[in-house]
Structure 1
Amino acid sequence: MLRSMWLLLLLALGGTNAKEPKHITFESGNQGTAEIEPQPESESLSESGYLIIQPTSDLQNENAKAITTLREKLENSVRGILSDLPNTSKKRRRQALQEALDTLTGLSLALPKLETSLSAIGKQQKVIVRLFRHQEEWRFWAADQVRKVMESTEGLHTAEAVTVTEEVNKRYGSRLRSCAGEFIWLQIRFNLDLAKTLDSLQSPANQLIEASEGCSKLRAKKCRNAIRDALRGLMLAPQDLDERWSASCQLEKSQSTAVRCMEQALEEYTEERLLTETSLQGVIQDYRESIGDTMED
């Protein structure tokens, strides 16, 4: 389990599919060429806020597949027992198969709730990724504002434009990461716990299925003992699955809160961006007026 957690964190630090412009170059008359270099790849990816979502999504997808596979296996076994029961006359054998049927049915009915919850989380996850990706456009906006100021002030106020636009982008990028931070870590913990629960179910579930399928080939007493031995490994399974489902519901709530917070931050960013553009336009206007005053003198 600990190894899986470290692997997940290493994947999270390893990068994302986000693509960033290599550099943007502007020509500015007599002032020569100015280049705006993005942050180093590792730093910019770390600050993107969503690099850790992909590995957690991958783990969640693996869990979803494991749930589906286990559910289908349980349902097939349930159908097999239902088919065998009418032809089972021995009391001990019939009693054992009924106990196996009850447990397998209970587990198979508990899994669809988790499947539904994971599906909902996965869909909302795409919304969070889309919201984070707004930051990619922010960089082009900042570069465009810097270009306008540089060209309009002959490069004299370029540094000021860079400082102003970077401050806005960094501040709201931090807001987005803060909004999603709690959900992301809750999702990591949830999926690691879920993976552990699913792993713990595999062996006893397979043992019970095998015992049920082989029941007709054994003496009634041996059949019952084999099934009951397998059942002991699944005593806590219903409780564990119910706890995982409750945790998934809490995760959905945390995710919805994160989305609302991010959407609010993006709305406020749009408003501040307009104010920033107005402020930079004022810098340009002040420069033009200063040039006009100089020419009049």
Structure 2
Amino acid sequence: MQRSLWLLLLLALGGTNAKEPKNIRYETGNQGTAGIEPEGESEPLSDSGYLIIQPTSDLQNQNAKTITEFREKLDNAVGGILSDLPDTSKKKRRQALQEALNTLTGLSLALPKLEASLSDIGQQQKVIVRLFRHQEEWRFWAADQVRKVMESTEGLRTAEAVTVTEEVNNRYSTRLRGCAGDFIWLQIRFNLDLAKTLDSLHSPTDQLIEASGRCSRIRAKQCHKAVRDAAGELQLAPQDLNDRWSASDQLKESQSTAVRCMEQALEEYTEERLLTETSLHPHGLRDTYRGRTKHICRT
């Protein structure tokens, strides 16, 4: 379902050459006093700019599942051919099975590093989720500042406190989303391209497995031709998978850049938050959370 949605999105934006959309909507929510959600890495944060990440994660998870299933299919087919080869006496039939074995093995060997790269990206994405989650505490800080100003000024500067704290929180929420924006878009494009590559492999792979499986029941010459025709469709497949792996390295670099940018934004937010408290409480009132703000950037 998610794959179909993102395919439609890509087509609507102009196909595989589409540029980054300028109208993707990020929901920011209000700077109110809503409760903090339980810590959970799979739950989308519609109130803190994480809404757009979940579909990209779902698409990547589906690709990872497809790769695992595809590798299992290849391993089973390779095992079957290895079992049949000792009992195959006809030269052309043996050549056919050996060609099928080489092709399927080549595909299988191209998958582990891509699989590992997807796993690395998924683990690092949990860091991005945690960084986004800091915004949930920001609401409590803003609400507490407003309450203190209201009490200390008998309501005279309440509107000012609301405006100031919202401006700070909204500005840094926008920065966090901006930090992650390039990575999110690249992740969408990468996973759509990967899904297309994987989809293109299923039919010729099934044909090759079927051709090698019925070699013992047909004439050796027919067996050889059927296997060669099917294997020919997969000649470039290992290189295609290697290209996707190279693209995953570029995606990981973008992801690391996003994390560094978000961490820097959170550090600057912590400093500005303290300055904001000073401006709101010029007579020495201090945020009860001040001691905790030093830890806001820790993940």
Question: Paired residue for 2:164?
Answer: 164
**Within the alignment, does 1:98 sit opposite 2:82 as a pair?**
no
Q: Which amino acid aligns with 1:188?
A: I
Q: Which amino acid aligns with 2:80?
A: G
Question: Paired residue for 1:112?
Answer: 112
Question: Paired residue for 2:260?
Answer: 260
C-alpha distance in 1 between matches for 2:149 and 2:31: 21
C-alpha distance in 1 between matches for 2:195 and 2:137: 36
**Within the alignment, does 1:125 sit opposite 2:125 as a pair?**
yes
Q: 1:21 to 1:56 in 2, by over 3 A?
A: same
Q: Is the 8 A contact 1:8 1:55 kept in 2?
A: no
Q: Which amino acid aligns with 2:227?
A: I
TM-score (norm 1): 0.82
Question: Paired residue for 1:89?
Answer: 89
Give the superposition deviation at 1:167: 1.2
C-alpha distance in 1 between matches for 2:152 and 2:128: 38
Give the superposition deviation at 1:166: 1.0
C-alpha distance in 2 between matches for 1:15 and 1:266: 19
Give the superposition deviation at 1:284: 7.9
C-alpha distance in 2 between matches for 1:145 and 1:216: 79
Q: 1:259 to 1:149 in 2, by over 3 A?
A: same
Match of 2:178, SS state, is helix
For structure 1, which segment, 221-230 or 182-191, has the greater mean C-alpha deviation from structure 2 after superposition? 221-230
Question: Paired residue for 2:275?
Answer: 275
Which has the larger share of helix?
Answer: 1
Question: Paired residue for 1:192?
Answer: 192
Write the deviation string for residues 169-217 of structure 1: whole angstroms up to 9, x where unpaired: 1111111111111000000000000000000001111111111111111
Question: Paired residue for 1:67?
Answer: 67
Question: Paired residue for 1:223?
Answer: 223
Provide runs of 4+ in structure 1 moved above 3 Å.
1-4, 7-10, 12-16, 20-25
Give the superposition deviation at 1:6: 2.5
Match of 1:133, SS state, is helix
Q: Is the 8 A contact 2:32 2:143 kept in 1?
A: no
Q: Is the 8 A contact 2:32 2:139 kept in 1?
A: no
C-alpha distance in 2 between matches for 1:106 and 1:139: 53
Q: 1:9 to 1:187 in 2, by over 3 A?
A: farther
C-alpha distance in 2 between matches for 1:278 and 1:172: 19
C-alpha distance in 1 between matches for 2:120 and 2:6: 24
C-alpha distance in 2 between matches for 1:175 and 1:253: 19
**Within the alignment, does 1:206 sit opposite 2:206 as a pair?**
yes
Q: Which amino acid aligns with 1:138?
A: W
C-alpha distance in 2 between matches for 1:99 and 1:215: 12
C-alpha distance in 2 between matches for 1:118 and 1:210: 30
C-alpha distance in 1 between matches for 2:161 and 2:11: 36
Q: Is the 8 A contact 2:33 2:139 kept in 1?
A: no
Give the superposition deviation at 1:8: 8.1
Match of 1:149, SS state, is helix
Give the superposition deviation at 1:5: 2.3
Give the superposition deviation at 1:158: 0.7
How much is the aligned-residue C-alpha RMSD, in angstroms?
2.7
Q: Is the 8 A contact 2:53 2:184 kept in 1?
A: yes
For structure 1, which segment, 134-143 or 57-66, has the greater mean C-alpha deviation from structure 2 after superposition? 134-143
Q: Which amino acid aligns with 1:5?
A: L
C-alpha distance in 2 between matches for 1:184 and 1:9: 17
User: What is the aligned residue count?
Assistant: 263
TM-score (norm 2): 0.81
User: Which consecutive residues of structure 1, in runs of 5 or more, have no partner in the other structure?
Assistant: 26-43, 286-297
**Within the alignment, does 1:138 sit opposite 2:110 as a pair?**
no
Question: Paired residue for 1:6?
Answer: 8
C-alpha distance in 2 between matches for 1:140 and 1:86: 71
C-alpha distance in 2 between matches for 1:155 and 1:91: 94
User: Which consecutive residues of structure 2, in runs of 5 or more, have no partner in the other structure?
Assistant: 13-22, 35-44, 286-299
Write the deviation string for residues 118-141 of structure 1: whole angstroms up to 9, x where unpaired: 000011111101111111111111
Question: Paired residue for 1:238?
Answer: 238
C-alpha distance in 1 between matches for 2:25 and 2:262: 24
Bigger Rg, which one: 1
Question: Paired residue for 1:35?
Answer: none
Match of 1:128, SS state, is helix
**Within the alignment, does 1:150 sit opposite 2:150 as a pair?**
yes
Q: Which amino acid aligns with 1:164?
A: V
Q: Is the 8 A contact 1:152 1:284 kept in 2?
A: no
